[in-house]
Structure 1
Amino acid sequence: MIPRIRPAVAGMALAAGLAAGPVQADEQVLICYNYGCLVEAEARFSEAQLAEVAARLLRADSAVAERAIVAQVLGQLYRWAGEQLPISADRPGDYLDFGENGMMDCIDHATSTTRLLLMLEERGLLRFHAVDPIRRRVRWLVAQHFSAVLRERGTDDAPGEEARFAVDTWFGEHGDPAVVLPLEDWLDGEGPDVS
């Protein structure tokens, strides 16, 4: 026999649940792959995974520390996404994985990384940075490259001073930490050599 819950007890349980705060659901983020966002598929991140990410990010006590942790966290998010999607086949640059299902060019990386950063921002996990639009660099008239961008929030000491940083996951192996560089350096062609 299933015991019945009296209305007063049920009401107290509901009130206790509401007092605990909103329950967040798993997050789904569209990940691009197969070059130029030819394919977009959802990667699901559980609350347990996101709680792990949150604990890491909340340790940051400065913008510098937050950028270092963000680089690591992005690698972890990509590894979890690679357990669900074929992006674990991705290799640095554009040629080492050419023709593989799951290969990612800089457009795929910039778009997916920006979406992952927006997820973190929407959850209140970026305390020292805000997500800016994707940036493009053009060199030698035809060579172009795209990256996600974080803007360091101004401080009380320097309210108008907001440095920007390229957050580029294209350079490394699947799941490696992102390369984070001052945006001006990235625009000048800085970054690991993957040719």
Structure 2
Amino acid sequence: MKALSTALTLAMLAGLAGCVGQSGSAASAWYDGRDAIPPRGDRIYICHAFGCALKTPVDFAGRDIAALRRILAEGRGSPAAERRAIAKAVQWQERRVGKIVGSDKDVGGLDMQNAGVPGQMDCIDEASNTTSLLLVAEARGLLRHHRVESPVARGFFLDGRYPHATAVVRETASGTAFAVDSWPEANGVEPHIKPLAAWFNDYPS
């Protein structure tokens, strides 16, 4: 049993190692390490079925970009306002792609019985999809107060927590990083946004 636990721990570490401490708007190491696909223009590859096992391309048409622009424009006044707008943008994306991907019934939080089920998402899927959306917004100049960074992870079993990953943005004025975590909630619910330092200290995972 101990050997199995050790093997499982090492497997999870291998899957999540390398996401801690990464930065850079491209977040290329995150995508490369998880068989995910970064956005290409206005096409986003939505990860689902846990661990980005499935990837469904979704093209954001002009009206989608216009909607994203309107949502994020609500946050121009301050970094805090922009974070609220980012939460609304993530909610918008989840609702926008839900019927296409089959993720409209995605269950929030730890839900291992749905591993491998198309449309269901774990934290790797959620962190990848949120990062992809934010990269599209950043590339179009829609973020005024934040830059997009690579997702990060916490929890490695040994500290009593399951591994868990989140998308990250960094406030340009203060340098403070914030978790943008859509995993705890069901599809179409606003993500949890909080200082990354506080997110790392959350327990349980």
Q: TM-score, normalised by structure 1?
A: 0.77
SS in 1 for 2:133: helix
For the pair shown, the structure with the greater C-alpha radius of gyration is: 1
Counterpart of 2:153 (choices 127, 131, 136) is 136
Higher relative contact order (CA 8 A, sep 6+): 2
The answer to which structure has the higher helix fraction is 2
When normalised by structure 2's length, the TM-score is: 0.73
Query: Which residue does 2:169 correspond to in 1?
Result: 150
The yes-or-no answer on 1:91 pairing with 2:107 is yes
CA contact (8 A) 1:45 1:80 kept: no
Aligned residue pairs: how many? 161
Q: Does the 8 Å CA contact 2:54/2:118 hold for their aligned counterparts?
A: no
Contact in 2 for aligned 1:131/1:150 (Cα 8 Å): yes
Distance 1:182 1:72 in 2: 18
Please name the residue that 2:54 is paired with. 39
Q: CA RMSD in A?
A: 1.9
Deviation of 1:43 (Å)? 1.5
CA distance in 2, matches of 1:67, 1:54: 14
Q: What is the CA–CA distance in structure 2 between the aligned matches of 1:97 and 1:43, rounded to whole Å?
A: 26
* CA apart distance, 1:49: 2.0
**Where does residue 68 of structure 2 map in the other structure?**
53
Identity %: 32
Match of 2:29 in 1: none
Partner of 1:65: 81
Q: Deviations over 1:62-117 (max 9, x none)?
A: 00000001101111111111121111121111318615421100011011111111
8 Å contact from structure 1 (residues 89, 97) kept in 2: no
Question: Which residue is 1:110 aligned to?
Answer: 127
Q: Which structure's residues are more often strand, by fraction?
A: 1
